[in-house]
Amino acid sequence: GEVARAAAERGPAGLAAFTVELFRPLQPMLAQTALDLDAALEELGDAALEWKIDGARVQIHKSGDDVAVYTRKRNEVTSAVPEIVEAARALPARQLILDGEAIALRGDGHPHPFQTTMRRFGRRIEDAALRAELPLATFAFDLLWLDGASLLAAPAAGRWEALSHTIPASLRVPRLRSADREAAGRFLEGALAAGHEGIMAKALDLPYEAGRRGQAWLKVKPAHTFDLVVLAAEWGHGRRHGRLSNLHLGARNPASGGWVMLGKTFKGMTDEMLAWQTERLLELEVSRDSWTVYVRPELVVEVAFNDVQASPRYPGGLALRFARVKRYRPDKAAADADDVEHVRALLPASEADGG
């Protein structure tokens, strides 16, 4: 009918606007990872920056005194989070759907680790002692429904303006709208100083795309570096033809005395570096196949990366995301390379425990 035709004309966002229902949780909108802050600002231009809170994603539905709280996987957890229910009931809006994060904070305001926050969500019923030990703070960052109207199709800046008029600052994630690199850098430093894992950069003009992982939301975290050992290298293509380019990267495995492969990278290399590493790796060659030269594990390389993720592709069950070469470390021996447990310590708790 009329509604379906209007939705079809407005595309997916229009369709979503007609399918929102109170107490029927939506799939959350998801984010991609940016290489760094500069890449995020280049991608989005004028953007909204928010603290990235490593808590439990929550969707809060309210109609009058009826409140329900749902997880990222759309499980209802209302009875386990009474302080979120009380805060929602106290809001003047008659009806709303909020998207945000709930997190347990320490006495100094810094966050507890993700696993600690998740203890609050393991209970089906209210636990007064646990609530007293680990009170939850709510950081809402989006408003999807307000007093009978869906906001999914509204541009993000409009949703956020409505959010700021609807709930107090104490319940909102800290946000800065800026395209200025210095201001953005200070905002990122502030988030890290408060103990959070980075910031989000979000486009101002796009709708809320439930269940989508698009370029509208970008995660920005500080890069880590490790000293790793080159285990093999693959011959390059195109401009890199005749050069050993794609490096196989390994961390020390103290348990076995061997090496654990954490992925490959061909990023970050200058022409000089490609020439040097081709010559050096051929000196270390032990065997080869049609496209790979395997080498003695002696050459140490400093590798920058954004995240560690669980990966079934490699025997160690870990992989580096956005790995790139910073420099070679001829001053270091293979025995000085980082060990795999240091790498594993960076695995997000949400992945380490299978969540």
The token pair at 296 is 């003695």
Query: Containing H/E element for 292?
Result: strand 292-295
Distance CA 252, CA 248 (A): 13
Residue 223 neighbours by CB distance under 10 Å:
14
CB neighbour list of residue 256: distance below 8 Å, 6 or more residues apart: none
**Catalytic, out of 52, 202, 219, 221:** 52
Is 68 within 8 Å of 83 (Cβ atoms)? no
Rounded distance between C-alpha atoms, residue 274 and residue 310, angstroms: 29
Q: Are 317 and 325 in contact (CB under 8 A)?
A: no
Beta bridge partners of 327: 302
Q: At what angle do helices 181-193 and 37-44 cross, to 10 degrees?
A: 130
> Is 54:66 a contact under the CB 8 Å cutoff?
no
Active site residue 52: yes
Catalytic annotation, residues? 52
